[in-house]
Amino acid sequence: MGKEASGVWGQLSDGESEGKLLWEPPKLIFRGAYRGIYQGHALKNVRAEGDDLVLSDGTRFTLEPGQADKWVHAILNPPSRLDKLGVKPGMTVVIDGVEDEAFLDELSTRVEPVEAEEGIDLLFLAAEDLADLDRMEDWKGALADKGAIWVVARKGKGAPLKDVEILEAVRGLGFTDTKVCAFSATHTALRFVRRKGG
């Protein structure tokens, strides 16, 4: 979802140097002899001037020809949580135990979750302990051909389940992990699909 460019000439407030420019929403990061991290207000009026990406404070990054407009578009239109999770209109989406009100409200703007036992495109499963993951076995046959399950679990030091424990348990149920996504300030989401031939 981000962008990366090497060999970028950066003109920062404290000096000029060549370096690498990264767009990792919500941050624009420059790594060279001079470094900078920009977000929020600094990116509010970002614009392209020729091959230069120009920030609100006048900081400039010279990119390959034709790239500045693409970077401006990416910065001004960051992907939403639903975009990152792959939720598209018309999908069959099922919620199993996820009670995040902000997420459920956001989800209902794109698709209305349903109760289904087959043809599920995306299933969001809350996991607080390993026993919760056993439900994936029940859901396995209900997934559409290209269906996926997002396991939503608490993140951080106090998390009851570590990512490695989730990965090990779910792989053992015949699934393959394909993606990790920040779900909220407190939770992360891991995406799984049925293993081919599994």
Is 81-194 assigned to CATH 3.40.50.1580? no
Q: Across all residues in the chain, what is the average pLDDT? A: 94
Split at pLDDT 50, 70, 90, the class of 2 is confident
* Fold agreement (3-76, 81-194): no
Instruction: Note the pTM of the prediction, 2 decimals.
Output: 0.72
Q: DSSP labels for the chain? A: --EEEEEEEEEETTEEEEEEEEEETTEEEEEESSEEEE-THHHHT-EEETTEEE-TTS-EEE-STT-HHHHHHHHHSPPPHHHHHT--TT--EEEEB---HHHHHHHHTT------SS-EEEEEEE-SSHHHHTHHHHHHTTEEEEEEEEEEEE-STT-SS-HHHHHHHHHTTTEEEEEEEE-SSSEEEEEEEEPTT-
pLDDT of residue 1: 55
Each residue's pLDDT tens digit, 54-102:
999 999 999 999 999 999 999 998 888 999 999 999 999 999 999 999 9
pLDDT of residue 197: 67
Q: Where are the domains of the chain?
A: 3-76, 81-194
Split at pLDDT 50, 70, 90, the class of 198 is low
What fold characterizes domain 3-76?
PH-domain like (2.30.29)
pLDDT of residue 25: 81
Q: Is the pLDDT of residue 166 over 60?
A: yes
Each residue's pLDDT tens digit, 107-143:
999 999 999 999 999 999 999 999 999 999 999 999 9
Split at pLDDT 50, 70, 90, the class of 171 is very high
